[in-house]
């Protein structure tokens, strides 16, 4: 039988002397007379106390949040994967009104709605009711554009008049996310006066007087100048849309063209949104001409951008317009002659008479088929055709810098050469070939310029929905952003205001 006792080998033998010595050390360390023992007890007690008290406070590290992509985010991701570029920041923002809120004056209907109600009498030749219908967009152009543009975009095209920005801005601002009903909380004040529609009735009547052309503006200013917030700022934080070119409101003498509304003292400090501005007047701001394309959704913009990007363009350049034979050395006639002599490189659309008034499907189709579109000045330095051209993905060719570069800084790229071509008109008059200049650009350069034009399309269009488009800013949004930023800058100490 095996022994149950411990083995007697040295490895398993307990040293009684060592055991006794260790016990003595432990007893002496925990003796109440030993100061080190007290220090150890105090430290342990403090740690235990801290541990139980800290458990009563909430943990400062937040739990992870799981963010699932929205439908908009998925659409934007798909757009990027498809090579679509949008020049716009998402409108989803925690502080959407950081630059301030807007108060819309409740003007008497005489200054806006009654003008629309009398649409039959706004033009000496024909009724304007169709042109001003559908919130200013005009009649649908779906039938005429069928077969030219994608079927799923036909509902976004209208016969929009070029002089309806007053209606478009009024409808949009009434639904703006930063509109306030309390004037005391507003950073900006909007005046919904349809100045362009009011004066348009009298521009073509030989029987109209200077007083006729100024009547609405003077009555509006009489009403406005009695308001406390106008008196407080002297108009510096007020703005208005005037739906024609600035020169229609700058009559110096009674026998001259247009009204003298802009020269009225009460309008001096009010910011004015116009389709053509005076580049040397701080209070004039150029905004895009309304075109026929009014997208209803983010997807509409993506589809249109993709369509114009993929479009096969068979012509080097084009020109839509008519000669002004009453003008000496008419520049348009020179361009038309060069176009005819281009050997098939140029397409033209004859816009003699009123055939191209507010656009035609033939114009859009011509722009869609051309790499470049010639944009000489119109009756003034600008023309709606500039925006019709770019929305179609065609690259504009300018001959006057005031046609775009000094007009629409809030809406076009900072670098003119990135999206357009400039040819000095005097050089063309002296024999420079437009065709030769345009042929000097490489395919890569043309592709890059077109991509920049396509990228900026959202800035040039006015959305169909009065609340805008989720996820993208259009021309109205950029205009509002610019106005509010301008008013914020005016509050800085270094900004000088005159009375």
pLDDT at 20: 44
Q: Give the C-alpha separation, 480 to 476, whole Å.
A: 6
Give the whole-number percent of the chain exceeding pLDDT 70.
Answer: 79
Q: Give the C-alpha separation, 14 to 12, whole Å.
A: 7
Average pLDDT, the chain: 85
| Global pTM value | 0.82
**What is the per-residue burial (b if ≥16 Cβ within 10 Å, else e) of 279-299?**
eeeebbbbbbbbbbbbbebbb
pLDDT band at 73 (very low <50, low <70, confident <90, very high): very low
27 vs 361, residue with greater confidence:
361
Output the CA–CA distances (angstroms, integers) from residue 203 to 93, 98, 170, 350, in the order listed.
44, 41, 23, 26
Q: What is the DSSP string of 338-356?
A: HHHTSSSSEEEEE--TTTT
pLDDT, average across residues 320-329: 78
pLDDT at 50: 53
Q: Give the C-alpha separation, 432 to 424, whole Å.
A: 9
Residue 10 pLDDT > 70? no
Report the first-to-last Cα separation within the chain, whole angstroms. 121
Question: Which 3 state secondary structure label does DSSP give 298?
Answer: helix
pLDDT per residue as tens digits for the range 127-181: 999 999 999 999 999 999 999 999 999 999 999 999 999 999 999 999 999 999 9
pLDDT at 84: 54
DSSP H helices in 369-415: 385-391
Range(s) for CATH 3.40.50.2000 in the chain? 313-460
Residue 37 pLDDT > 60? no
pLDDT band at 329 (very low <50, low <70, confident <90, very high): confident
Q: Which CATH class is domain 313-460?
A: alpha beta
pLDDT at 39: 61
pLDDT band at 365 (very low <50, low <70, confident <90, very high): very high
pLDDT, average across residues 47-73: 42
Residue 51 pLDDT > 60? no
Q: What is the DSSP string of 359-371?
A: --HHHHHHHHTEE
pLDDT at 357: 63
pLDDT, average across residues 434-459: 98
457 vs 123, residue with greater confidence:
457
pLDDT, average across residues 30-37: 55
pLDDT band at 41 (very low <50, low <70, confident <90, very high): low
pLDDT at 485: 95
pLDDT, average across residues 38-42: 60
pLDDT, average across residues 376-392: 94
pLDDT per residue as tens digits for the range 173-205: 999 999 999 999 999 999 999 999 999 989 988
């Amino acid at each position: 039988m095996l022994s149950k006792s411990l083995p007697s080998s040295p490895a398993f033998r307990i040293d009684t002397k060592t055991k006794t010595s260790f016990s003595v050390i432990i007893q002496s360390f925990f003796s109440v007379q030993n100061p080190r023992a007290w220090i150890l007890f105090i430290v342990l007690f403090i740690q235990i106390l801290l541990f139980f008290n800290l458990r009563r406070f909430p943990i400062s590290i937040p739990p992870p949040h799981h963010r699932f992509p929205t439908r908009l985010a998925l659409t934007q991701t798909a757009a990027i994967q498809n090579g679509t570029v949008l020049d716009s920041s998402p409108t989803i923002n925690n502080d959407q009104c950081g630059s301030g809120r807007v108060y819309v004056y409740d003007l008497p209907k005489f200054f806006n709605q009654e003008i629309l109600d009398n649409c039959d009498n706004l033009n000496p030749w024909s009724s304007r009711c169709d042109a001003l219908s559908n919130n200013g967009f005009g009649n649908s152009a779906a039938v005429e554009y069928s077969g030219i543009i994608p079927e799923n975009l036909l509902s976004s095209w209208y016969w929009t008049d070029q002089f309806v920005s007053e209606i478009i801005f009024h409808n949009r601002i009434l639904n703006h996310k930063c509109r306030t009903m309390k004037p005391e909380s507003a950073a900006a004040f909007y005046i919904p006066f349809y100045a362009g529609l009011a004066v348009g009735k009298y521009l073509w009547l030989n029987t109209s007087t200077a007083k006729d052309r100024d009547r609405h503006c003077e009555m509006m200013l009489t009403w406005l100048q009695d308001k406390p917030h106008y008196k407080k700022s002297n108009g510096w934080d007020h703005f208005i849309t005037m739906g024609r070119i600035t020169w229609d409101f700058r009559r110096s003498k009674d026998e001259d063209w247009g009204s003298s509304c802009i020269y009225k003292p009460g309008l001096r400090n009010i910011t004015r949104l116009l389709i053509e501005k005076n580049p040397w007047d701080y209070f004039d701001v150029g905004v895009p001409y309304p075109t026929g394309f009014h997208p209803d959704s983010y997807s509409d913009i993506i589809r249109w951008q993709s369509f114009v990007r993929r479009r096969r363009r068979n012509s080097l350049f084009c020109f839509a317009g008519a000669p002004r034979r009453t003008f000496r050395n008419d520049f348009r006639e020179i361009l038309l002659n060069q176009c005819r002599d281009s050997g098939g490189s140029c397409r033209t659309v004859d816009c003699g008479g009123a055939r191209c008034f507010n656009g035609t499907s033939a114009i859009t189709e011509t722009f869609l088929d051309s790499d470049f579109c010639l944009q000489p000045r119109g009756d003034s330095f600008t023309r709606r055709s500039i925006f019709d051209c770019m929305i179609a993905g065609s690259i504009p060719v300018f001959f006057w810098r005031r046609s775009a570069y000094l007009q629409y800084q809030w809406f076009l790229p900072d670098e003119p050469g990135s999206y357009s071509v400039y040819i000095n008109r005097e050089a063309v008059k002296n024999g420079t070939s437009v065709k030769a200049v345009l042929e000097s650009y490489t395919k890569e350069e043309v592709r890059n310029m077109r991509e920049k034009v396509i990228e900026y399309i959202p800035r040039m269009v006015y959305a169909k929905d009065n609340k805008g488009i989720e996820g993208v800013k259009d021309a109205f949004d950029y205009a509002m952003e610019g106005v509010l930023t301008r008013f914020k800058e005016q509050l800085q100490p270094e900004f000088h205001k005159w009375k």
